[in-house]
Structure 1
């Protein structure tokens, strides 16, 4: 979904007045433009009042600014809202869903993974596929697949699971649960009683777990999360109630002006959007 474009500083025409309020706050008033901007922390946000699909909006932001907006704090939320005081609809931000490249292991210690091990995958043909709506967690299939491959499932499903319990003489130790839980509950159980849900770093470890599970499909520690367009790893979330949504297909995030909350929308929908640039000014406001 990434679009490579060169970045440059947009022209600033129609500059009317600059007023220094104090050392922390600068107001600039501009007329005749179709965007507004606010600073928070080190990010400068621009509201672009042109309706585009998410990928086209990303392309414009990367061409004219830095990228679609990354929002990492409640201060950022407020700064985004201040860019369009008269707009009450939704606008794209940089958070998006990626079916193939956004999978992560519950155990996120980078020292645990050797070269290529974090990205080892053993998907069943046709998976991942979001077959029944967003399927953000992964099971190892035993019942219907003798090769013990993986597929994506809804995290609310209840099943047995495998925990990682450290190493014994250099060999990873795995424990099969004797209870069935949803993925989040399984993660909590493994972290409380062992180390974490099982990471599978290679085919040897896949075979070790396969030998444990007999005929039970089990949760493993792989899950999918949305990504920021600029690669930020910020865990901050500001979803509206009931969001992210349950519609099938890849979804992108839009912020709603007024509440500042985030909503899943089809990435092909046309909406205005928020771009950002880096800034050395702590706070800034500019209005059309």
Structure 2
């Protein structure tokens, strides 16, 4: 007979679609310490989705720091393909992953040529195709005939238009083929291993331009750097720096659940067991919505217990 238990409450904080409120903490901490403080007092370390949010973040820190400021980006284990244009509303289901490859290599940027994508070195000077969200139809796609490395092409497109172009469907592949007019061109596709602390799938990057696409660094945490006017650089996670939290006004939900452990000897008062349950639930939630940020934690009773055995 299974042991049936009632969870006293699961606090579910959900951030997707809400405006971030960045708060600067000046007391230097390691990256992990900063992450813990942000999760306890706010939502998480700061995440940025676009240049508008990045400009807000730059305004928040201004000249209040001397060297570096932690944000919520750290290095994961797997390189993933992403589009430079990070706006969630820009993509319908399946459009981010509609990648028609011709060549598969170990390179981290993509060029478009004759209707297909090719993995290519980010350091090669190429033409590129920009996207302008203020225009309509074919006028949204602009050929940049200045030969640039991928990061320079991205910054050019962001400065003059919206971003490097994405390829979401067959129609866009055809339009870009016409715009490219036979040339190999950079598009907004790149891959790297960097992940946001709040699990938001934002592909926005603000690296110092000479860092290109960051994949080989041994330093695994990211900070805004004073010497680079706030552009990002990687630092050892054990260094202590001020940090920025996203103190968004969270949508807070409480969920009550019954669980039936297969092992009736399982100690559900054990903090490591409770942490494992939260992690399994987090993974399940992420499988339903890969772009949302959220944070789960147990809501304890007045006596400190999380679980109550049903009669």
Q: Name whichever structure is richer in helix by fraction.
A: 2
TM range (shorter): 0.3 to 0.5
TM-score, length-scaled by structure 2:
0.43
